[in-house]
Structure 1
Amino acid sequence: MDIFRINDLRKLFPDEANLKVAVKRMIDTGIIIPVARGIYTLKEESLDIENIATRLYYPSYISFESALSKYGIINQGLYGLTLATTRHSKKMILAGVDCEYCQIKGSLYTGYTLTNGTYLASPEKALLDLLYLHALGKRTINPTEWITDALNPKEIRGYLTKYPPAVENMVKELGLWK
């Protein structure tokens, strides 16, 4: 999916007044749709918010509740998208979807793959990322509702060496250290 910024359109319409009129007309006629302030995509393309979110605030990957929900580890309904980044934490709305970027240490920025243009944490990494935010006091968790049977304890132990001891203690308390 291609996204473009207002500066890209400015090359076609160098006069600021013409630019504003052209953008409004393209939106009104459905040629383009606004994704965020000054960011657009073509109407005929399907809107892949996850792909856009990982490209707009780079580096970032889908993690925390969003990834855990995708993998079926948590069943709570999600209304937004949660992403890990090494940049400052930030919230933005993309095409009506709340996107929350949560800062993690650079040493923790690992454990994700690129699938269909979207960066996504492994289930084990997403869980550890969420426990990390909880240890920092930035998230509340309800592990009694988690379905963790399919998690790979060996992969969890491999990532744990990068996390603070508080995360390792939570992993042991939750019985994920087998």
Structure 2
Amino acid sequence: MIYSRKVVFLQRFLNIIRMTYLQFREQWHKVGCFNVYQVRSVAPHFDRGNLTRWVKKGYLVRLRQDWYAFADLLGEAEFSRYVAQKIYVPSYISLHTALAYFGIIPEAVSQITCVTSNRTTHYENAFGEYTYHSVKSSMFFGYEPIVMPQGYSYLLALPEKALLDLLYLYPQYDTEAALLNLRLDDWWMQDELDVNRLREFSGKAANVALQKRTELLLKTYRND
């Protein structure tokens, strides 16, 4: 009886180690991207060498150290933004990426720009180029979840917070000429911008210089 139990245990152990890609995909594809520690929390004896082999075969994409995603998701719209939220936390998408998302700036943005209360860092992988700008913990607010059709979600700055983050991280925008060089959409700034929310966020930041730049932005782009 004891012997048979050992055999069953050994067989289960070997099955975990020899997990096929199809078995792994069935369990983890709904997650989209994942790290080694998440996998081992479910399967403690999982052979991480499987991940290296599956990357070489083109089944998986390595995102950064210990982080992976399924290669068939490369063509999924917005999935690169979901990746941004997973590989470096806490963070939310803001600045130029968010401003382009809302149509506030005319330029297409090649990299995904994020804000973090962690240190500033940068990553590149098959899904895109990611830059994370560090802010004080007191500035880490003003975002909401965006749910994708596939069920994945990511955090995106509200448009007013994306503007405030820009003024906070780029203090050189302290003259009307510099602000006009941003080429913010005049219609959006006049008709869509929530001035009260922008001022509320600026006050919450408790930064006098930032509040001055915020008021200058309003003076530059609005008629009221």
Equivalent residues of 1:36, 1:95 under 8 A apart: no
Q: Residue 45 in 1 paired to residue 73 in 2? A: yes
Equivalent residues of 2:199, 2:214 under 8 A apart: no
**Higher mean displacement: 164-173 or 34-43:** 34-43
Aligned-residue sequence identity (percent) comes to 25
Partner residue, 2:64 = 36
Aligned with residue 101 of structure 1, among 128, 132, 141: 132
Taking the aligned partners of 2:45 and 2:96, their CA distance within structure 1 comes to 40
Partner residue, 2:54 = 26
Query: Higher relative contact order at CA 8 Å, sep ≥6: structure 1 or structure 2?
Result: 1
- TM-score, normalisation: structure 2: 0.67
Query: CA RMSD for the aligned pairs?
Result: 2.5
Partner residue, 2:209 = 166
Show CA shifts across 1:115-144 (max 9, x none). Answer: 111000000000001000112x69xx9532
Taking the aligned partners of 1:28 and 1:89, their CA distance within structure 2 comes to 30
Partner residue, 2:96 = 65
Q: Residue 90 in 1 paired to residue 121 in 2? A: yes
Bigger Cα Rg: 2
Structure 1 stretches of 5 or more lacking a match?
14-18
Higher percent of residues as helix: 2
Taking the aligned partners of 2:200 and 2:35, their CA distance within structure 1 comes to 40
Taking the aligned partners of 1:91 and 1:45, their CA distance within structure 2 comes to 22
Residue 79 (structure 1) shift: 1.6
Residue 2 (structure 1) shift: 2.3
User: Size of the alignment, in residue pairs?
Assistant: 169
Higher percent of residues as strand: 1
Q: Residue 143 in 1 paired to residue 179 in 2? A: yes
Equivalent residues of 1:86, 1:103 under 8 A apart: yes
3-state secondary structure, aligned to 1:11: coil
